[in-house]
């Protein structure tokens, strides 16, 4: 098989390219720019494009398939050439389905928790050395790539993103996988550049339920009222299984699953909810509750999800991917509940298109209420890059409904502020899908003052 990737450098795209290369396919690709770690990883497998840019000559009649990434535009010269030649053009999710249509497909959907639930399932399957393929949105410990596609594995576990499939296929990705087993973790409006209203966004989950194959199963969070209503009204010929927070206790900063008192390395209501979803999926894959508990106690979390950067003098510094209002609120509340005797400084970088939209900003109202100190950072360059009008400090304070909120748009000033705070018995939570203007967070965590005043 000869496969060409248009926009090969994307996170998911380059991982699929590597997976197909390892499967024995002839893989080529192109892109206008490829960042790390995609660049080094593609080079390691000998499939990094020799030069950047688009070239119609890359598209030849002998290609078996062209896979089109979301980063490409509809007038991409390579795409136009492929259409002219009548070649088979797939979006990323379409090709995943094409490769796995004879497997059992487990698809994890929802506005939040997708990566963690998928990661938990993969961890447990890996623990028991099960043969499986997967597609996940983060690099996981013990897994070389974020995508694995083989001929032999009987099942695939897919993190089902609701964003669009490609520039010429405006369907959400998770509609295309045709799940046998599905999860919906919850619904919180996102991707407002595509789904202009909350109702439009919710509709995508209604449609997703209808893509579950007849006789399949939907596992859903019953704590989400809107989701519960959607599931109740769904007429698909599937079994519906609800889940909520499992019985647990927190002691000395460690969460235990009850009644067996299984110690966990993760914490927070949202993670416990995610764990229950993963447990129910694993039960469908013939892994019972006792086996699940034995495996999940060694799960340390998905990359960038409450990742511990430093722990000293009753101070923990965490890095987290949270950026949407629901994720921000859940993550702050999780850290505060786990360490009720410590203060919490919470810092969010607004970085996504949705979060930088003034009309959407009001969705963040009261999301940082549980933090003792709230900080919002927006890199000035982000507004310039996205051609958006910058927010003022007042705009942000008003939207978050917090007058004492600290606002920074310069990474140096943010760093200076944090280095002048005394973090003794105080946790710091740094949340972003960006990079805080290039601040070295590991170095920052190491340099924070955690010494008790007066000592």
Do 269 and 227 belong together in one domain? yes
Mean pLDDT of 209-238: 97
- For residue 250, being part of any structural domain is answered with yes
269-284 helix and 114-127 helix, angle to the nearest 10 degrees: 50
Confidence of residue 301 (pLDDT cuts 50, 70, 90): confident
**Phi/psi of residue 426, nearest 5 degrees:** -135, 130
108 and 233, same domain (yes or no)? yes
Check whether residue 274 and residue 339 sit in a common domain.
no
End position of a domain, from candidates 239, 263, 297: 297
Paired tokens of 127: 């623990």
Number of domains in the chain: 3
Q: What is the mean pLDDT of residues 69-89?
A: 96
Contact 180, 157 (CB under 8 A): no
My answer on whether 113 and 188 are in the same domain is: yes
Asked whether the predicted pLDDT for residue 359 surpasses 70, the reply is: yes
Give yes or no: residues 210 and 63 share one domain. no
In a domain, 453, yes or no: no
Q: What share of the chain is helix, strand, coil (3-state, %, to 5)?
A: 35, 20, 45
Whether 39 shows a pLDDT value over 80: the answer reads yes
Contacts of 86 (CB under 8 A, 6+ apart): none
The residue with greater pLDDT, 81 or 192, is 81
Q: What is the mean pLDDT of residues 369-386?
A: 90
Choose the final residue of a domain: 87, 121, 155.
Answer: 87
Q: How far apart are CA 284 and CA 401, in angstroms?
A: 44
Supply the pTM of this predicted model. Answer: 0.86
Looking at 87, 114, 142, which one is the last position of a domain?
87
Are 345 and 423 a contacting pair, CB within 8 Å? yes
pLDDT, mean over the chain:
94
Q: Is residue 455 part of a domain?
A: no
User: Tell me, what CATH number does 357's domain have?
Assistant: 3.90.190.20
Host domain of residue 22 = 2-87
Kindly indicate the confidence band of residue 454, based on its pLDDT and cuts at 50, 70 and 90.
low
Same domain, 286 and 146: yes
287 and 330 share one domain: no
- Residue 454 covered by a domain: no
User: In this structure, are residues 336 and 311 in contact, taking their beta carbons and an 8 Å threshold?
Assistant: no
**pLDDT (tens digit per residue) in 249-300:** 999 889 999 999 999 999 999 999 999 999 999 999 999 999 999 999 999 8
Angle between helices 114-127 and 289-296 in degrees, nearest 10: 100
Task: Write the pLDDT tens digit of every residue in 131-175.
Answer: 999 999 877 777 888 899 999 999 999 999 999 999 999 999 999
pLDDT score of 397? 96
Q: Write down the pLDDT at residue 192.
A: 85
Residues 364-373: pLDDT tens digits? 999 999 999 9
Give the residues across from 449 on adjacent strands: 422
In a domain? residue 369: yes
DSSP state string for 62-125: T-SEEEE-TTS-TT-HHHHHHHHHT--EEEHHHHHHHHHTTSEEEEEESSSSHHHHHHHHHHHH
How far is it, in rounded angstroms, from Cα 392 to Cα 394?
A: 5
C-alpha distance from residue 427 to each of 314, 316, 452 (Å): 8, 5, 14
Would you state the pLDDT for residue 145?
Answer: 83
- Whether the bond between 37 and the residue before it is cis, its omega within 30 degrees of 0, is yes
């Amino acid at each position: 098989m000869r496969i060409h990737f248009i926009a090969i450098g994307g996170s998911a795209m380059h991982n699929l390219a590597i997976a197909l290369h390892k499967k024995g396919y002839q893989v080529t690709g192109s892109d206008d720019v490829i960042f790390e770690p995609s660049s080094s990883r593609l080079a390691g497998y000998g499939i990094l494009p020799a030069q950047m840019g688009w070239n119609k000559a890359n598209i030849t009649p002998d290609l078996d398939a062209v896979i089109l990434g979301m980063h490409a535009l509809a007038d991409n010269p390579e795409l136009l050439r492929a259409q002219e030649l009548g070649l088979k053009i797939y979006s990323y999710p379409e090709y995943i389905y094409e490769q796995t249509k004879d497997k059992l497909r487990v698809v994890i959907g929802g506005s939040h928790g997708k990566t963690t639930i998928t990661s938990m399932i993969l961890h447990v399957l890996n623990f028991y050395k099960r043969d499986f393929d997967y597609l996940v949105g983060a690099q996981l410990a013990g897994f070389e790539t974020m995508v694995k596609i083989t001929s032999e594995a009987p099942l695939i576990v897919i993190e089902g993103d609701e964003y669009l499939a490609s520039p010429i296929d405006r369907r959400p990705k998770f509609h295309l996988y045709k799940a046998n087993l599905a999860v919906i973790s919850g619904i919180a409006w996102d991707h407002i550049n595509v789904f202009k209203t909350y109702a439009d966004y919710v509709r995508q989950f209604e449609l997703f339920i209808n893509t579950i194959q007849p006789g399949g199963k939907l596992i859903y969070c019953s704590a989400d009222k809107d989701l519960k209503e959607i599931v109740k009204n769904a007429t698909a010929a599937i079994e519906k299984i609800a889940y909520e927070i499992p019985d647990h206790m927190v002691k000395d900063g460690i969460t235990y699953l009850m009644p067996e008192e299984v110690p966990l390395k993760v914490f927070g209501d949202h993670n416990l909810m995610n764990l229950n979803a993963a447990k129910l999926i694993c039960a469908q894959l013939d892994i019972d509750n006792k086996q699940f508990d034995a495996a999940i106690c060694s799960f340390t979390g998905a990359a960038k999800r409450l990742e511990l950067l430093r722990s000293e003098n009753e101070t923990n510094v965490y890095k987290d991917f949270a950026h949407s209002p629901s994720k921000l609120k859940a993550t702050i509340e999780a850290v505060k509940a786990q360490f009720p005797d410590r203060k919490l400084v919470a810092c969010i970088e607004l970085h996504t298109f949705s979060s930088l939209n003034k009309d959407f900003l009001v969705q963040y109202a009261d999301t940082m209420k549980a933090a003792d100190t709230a900080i919002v950072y927006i890199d000035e360059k982000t507004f310039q890059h996205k051609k958006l009008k910058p927010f003022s400090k007042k705009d942000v304070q008003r939207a978050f409904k917090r007058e004492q909120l600290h606002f920074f748009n310069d990474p140096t000033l943010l760093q200076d502020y944090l280095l002048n705070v005394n973090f003794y018995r105080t946790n710091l939570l740094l949340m972003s899908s960006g990079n805080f203007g290039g601040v070295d967070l590991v170095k920052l965590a190491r340099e924070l003052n955690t010494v008790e005043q007066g000592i």
